[in-house]
Amino acid sequence: MPGNPHFDKAPPDKGASSFIYPPTAANLEFFAQVLRQGGLVAIPTETVYGLAALALDQAACRTIFQVKGRPLVDPLIIHLADASKVQAIAEVPDSLEKLAEAFWPGPLTLILNKKQIVPGLVTAGRPTVAVRVPSHPVTHALLQLLDQPLAAPSANPFGYISPTCAEHVAESFAGLVPYIIDGGPCEVGVESTILDLSGKEYPTILRPGAISADSIAHVLARQVHQKDSHLGKGEAATAPGTYIRHYSPQTRLCLFKEGQQPPQVQSDEAVILLTRTDSGSRKNIFWLTEDGSLNSAARTLYTLLRQVDKLGYRRIHCELPAPRPDGIAVALRDRLKRAAAK
Ligand code: TXA
Ligand code: MG
């Protein structure tokens, strides 16, 4: 390995083996070298943290699946420095220019027909590949430095809650992921919108995110389909990444409708509300926001779920935002329903 990364805060306790590093220029050079040599590095993005390896290095990408405990049938997203890099790995559809102009860098992933250079492992044997240009300045700088694409799924054990800060990654992967770049808390807080452009039919949203179906339809001046988040059991296997149970705490999670009274809860059960209320003095009541803003709720959701999950409650009751057309509402409803699925 090339040299050592530079700490600018005290090294972690003896025995800890996942280190969080500040994104200094010297450290980014070091991490680029780790990646070039087939290593893994956890990276910040505006949505959630990712567990990155060189996308065209099949052996390195295999390690991602192993570390995450992710089934090989679930393909990875490839992260690029800018839209001009798409053509090296995928067929470029007519709509790319408009979408890239409107939404990149940002939380939109496109499913495109892949080129041969992309290892089959990364796409789980599919003829399509997922690509996005993240907006986080640290990862953007790393991608520019590398001048190579990075495959990165969310940096959480398969099925668990995604990480929205460097500490979440360290908690899950102590001993398995030695390098975590600290890019601060994620600005969006839920994973990117995934838009399938590979078919001849309408563009279809496979996973809702902050970028809404309406805003994409407006940019493309055509209809956009949205896959229903109410999946039947048999459907899970046919659509990668749309597992019914996902993003889940270990504690049993139940949902109640926005604005309704939370159920009568016992002292060994927790309640998560969308907005702070006066009942906040009870120690088992938590809230996602001070003001009910769904963008703030999305930023807080995974951190709060992780915190409450560790407190040993028998059950968590969480308020489910009412349906609204904006992307973040659809995304929050989708994640909460999956997190609560049995
Ligand atoms: O915001 C995000 O997208 C984050 C950050 C790190 O970029 N990444 C992320 O990756 O959420 P992951 O692996 O946790 O979720 C990616 C989803 C998976 O559900 C996968 O099945 C789906 O994208 N996917 C990847 N390639 C696909 C393909 N060719 N066709 C359909 N779905 C695909
Ligand atoms: Mg994930």
Note the pLDDT tens digit of each residue in 178-203. Answer: 999 999 999 999 999 999 999 878 99
Characterize 189-222 residue by residue with b for buried, 16 or more Cβ atoms within 10 angstroms of its Cβ, and e for exposed. Answer: bbbbbbbbbbeeeebbbbbbbbbbbebbbebbee
Sorting pLDDT into bands at 50, 70 and 90, what band is 236?
A: very low
Question: Is the CB of 298 inside a 6 Å radius of any atom of ligand 1?
Answer: no
Q: Which ligand is nearest to the CA of 130?
A: 1
pLDDT of residue 73: 95
What is the pTM for the complete model shown? 0.93
Which atom of ligand 1 has the smallest separation from the CA of 155?
A: 6
For CA atoms 91, 82, 94, 154, the dihedral sign is positive
Where would I find the beta strands (DSSP E) of 238-336? 252-257, 269-275, 285-289, 315-320
Question: Is the CB of 76 inside a 6 Å radius of any atom of ligand 1?
Answer: yes
Which residue among 51, 112, 194, 238 has the greatest number of ligand 1 atoms within 8 angstroms of its CB, and so is best to mutate?
194
Q: Which ligand is nearest to the CA of 248?
A: 2
pLDDT tops 70 at residue 235 = no
Which atom of ligand 1 has the smallest separation from the CA of 109?
A: 3
Q: Which ligand is nearest to the CA of 209?
A: 1
Q: What are the Cα distances from residue 108, in Å, to 45, 46, 75, 181, 206?
A: 12, 11, 16, 22, 11
Question: Is the CB of 304 inside a 6 Å radius of any atom of ligand 1?
Answer: no
First to last CA, the chain: 43
Across 219-235, average pLDDT: 74
